[in-house]
Chains A and B, each alone.
Chain A
């Protein structure tokens, strides 16, 4: 089955700790994305990557970091510098990134709670 997986589904951390969220895809997609969703809010873009070893900040990158060492993997680290890290985090991929629009394939999400 081709798809995009995120783990874990639920994650609990104490304030001040860094935490890494996993995202893996076997769709052979070049582009990958991380979004954050808060209750009643739209998806907000954290980081995106068009190709291996390259990534760009999205609208709310402060307090987050990513890496793209392999085409299929795009982990997100939520650092202690992120002021309000409790949220639902969604990873997505698309075949490419360019004009004309590509549908995004989303993972099941990770719900992070920081206390």
Chain B
């Protein structure tokens, strides 16, 4: 069966460190992968999209990698700040041709001052 796995345990890090979040998937062949940020009680906000032919993408302090052989994406936030504390969701293109992303459950990031 198809699965998108994100660590259900919260990631706790100290301010200034690099946070690394993982998204693993099975039985998908996504043409793209997206990352979103969600704050409590609010809708997700799009951060980055990476396509299958791209290994890495950067935006300011954010970096995403996409390894289609390992079936894994890593999401990095460098020089993390308490304001980065949120839940981060990965989303993959669904199989079956609908082109709609399927979302993982998300990983909570807590950055301590």
Residues of chain A at the chain B interface (Cβ within 8 Å)? 33, 35, 40-43, 45, 48, 56, 58, 88, 90, 92, 97-101, 103-109, 111
A101/B44 in contact, CB under 8 A: no
A82 nearest CB across to chain B (Å): 20
Q: In which size bucket is the chain B interface? A: 20 to 34
Give the residues from 24 to 51 in chain B that come closer than 8 angstroms, CB to CB, to chain A: 31-32, 34, 36, 41-46, 49, 51
A51 nearest CB across to chain B (Å): 14
A100/B46 in contact, CB under 8 A: no
Contact of A101 among B8, B43, B51, B89 (CB under 8 A): B51
B43/A103 in contact, CB under 8 A: no
Q: If the complex has contacts A108-B42, A108-B43, A109-B43, are A42 and B99 also in contact, measured as CB distance less than 8 A? A: no
Q: If the complex has contacts A101-B93, A103-B49, A104-B46, are A42 and B34 also in contact, measured as CB distance less than 8 A? A: no
A109/B34 in contact, CB under 8 A: no
In the complex, which residues of chain A have a beta carbon less than 8 angstroms from the beta carbon of B46?
103-105
Most buried by B among A42, A108, A111: A42
B103/A101 in contact, CB under 8 A: no
